[in-house]
Amino acid sequence: EKHKSVEILDAKTKDKLCFLDKVGKILPSFSLYWYPARQSIRLDPKGKSLKDEDVLQHLPVGTTATFYFRDLGAQISWVTVFLTEYAGPLLIYLMFYFRVPFIYAPKYDFTTSKHWVVHLACMCHSFHYVKRLLETLFVHRFSHGTMPLRNIFKNCTYYWGFAAWMAYYINHPLYTPPTYGEQQIRLALTVFLFCQIGNFSIHIALRNLRPPGSKTRKIPYPTKNPFTWIFLLVSCPNYTYELGSWLGFTLMTQCLPVAAFTLVGFIQMTVWAKGKHRSYLKEFRDYPTLRSPILPFIL
């Protein structure tokens, strides 16, 4: 059993932070000054963080191993982030729907819209975010426990701001229903619900791929559930269905802020899907070649 020496330098300043002699197999778990989630230990100052499972013997280091330490800043749990992100839009939208005072003219306080599509839109929007909250609590398994605290301000501005902008116009006393009336609304509702079921099906399939407490990654494949068959063509069908849901909601409300939210969401999800697709290709040699990141054969 060969022991090694380990030195740890600051990734930015290259100052020596500590030196450990005679370290065995396991990477020492340092808590230099932070709780573990806040720190990153890497082989290269600008490289990727080492994982908790990494073993000293298997790393490309000589008898003296040099590691770089980086403070990742204040961290917050993913669950907290998602609950905050999603509870906001749910409540904000409802405030506009019930026309609480100081939003529209006083004569409209606590009045309700005469258009049934406005009530349907509120049900769909609320359903979407209640679904997301429940999935965060009971379905998702997170590979990383935490994310930087600053992200929560950015994410909440995005979700809460768009929810307010959409809700202001949809619930506005002067709102006009879609051009093609009932037929357009029915088609839109069908698309919305189909995609919500699809999105949920994908989340369940991804959950079943990762056993409790593990961080192992596998290639997702279609299951017996027909909604998961899209895995044959797409790496991240959860985003494909999410996009479909918001296209349905745009068609239902025929409202510009909803279209803007859908477009911005699509751009962001495409970035995530391409990243995920790349990491699948890198990690799995036998990854199916037919798959695109988010839109079959296109993108």
DSSP-assigned beta bridge partners for residue 18: 8
**The residue to which tokens 């999603």 are assigned:** 86
Q: pLDDT tens digits, residue range 191-238? A: 999 999 999 999 999 998 887 777 778 899 999 999 999 999 999 999
- Of 251, 115, 250, the closest CA to residue 184 belongs to 251
Give the tens place of pLDDT for each residue, 149-197. Answer: 888 888 889 999 999 999 999 999 999 999 988 999 999 999 999 999 9
Instruction: Report CA dihedral (213, 219, 220, 224) to the nearest 10 degrees.
Output: -100
Band of pLDDT at residue 295, cut at 50, 70 and 90: very high
Residue with tokens 């790496």: 235
Q: What is the pLDDT of residue 149?
A: 81
Q: Mean pLDDT lowest for which of 77-91, 179-193, 277-291? A: 77-91
In 106-235, at which residue ranges do the beta strands (DSSP E only) sit?
Answer: 146-148
State the Cα–Cα distance between residues 1 and 54, nearest whole angstrom: 17
Each residue of 18-42: pLDDT tens digit?
A: 777 666 555 555 555 555 566 666 6
Select, from the ranges 70-84, 135-149, 186-200, the one with the highest average predicted confidence (pLDDT).
186-200
**Strand 64-71 and strand 39-42: pairing?**
antiparallel
Q: How far apart are CA 122 and CA 170, in angstroms?
A: 9
Specify the higher pLDDT residue, 50 or 151: 151
Residue type, 177: P
Amino acid (1-letter code) at residue 101: P
Name the amino acid, one letter, at 272. Answer: W
- Both structure tokens of 248: 């349905």
**Which pLDDT belongs to residue 144?**
63
Helix (H) or strand (E) holding 22: strand 16-23
Length of the chain: 299
Q: Can you give the pLDDT at residue 62?
A: 62
What local confidence, expressed as pLDDT, does residue 274 receive?
A: 96
What per-residue confidence (pLDDT) applies to 58? 60
Q: Which two tokens stand for residue 222?
A: 């279609």
Is 0.85 topped by the overall pTM?
no
pLDDT at 240 over 90: yes
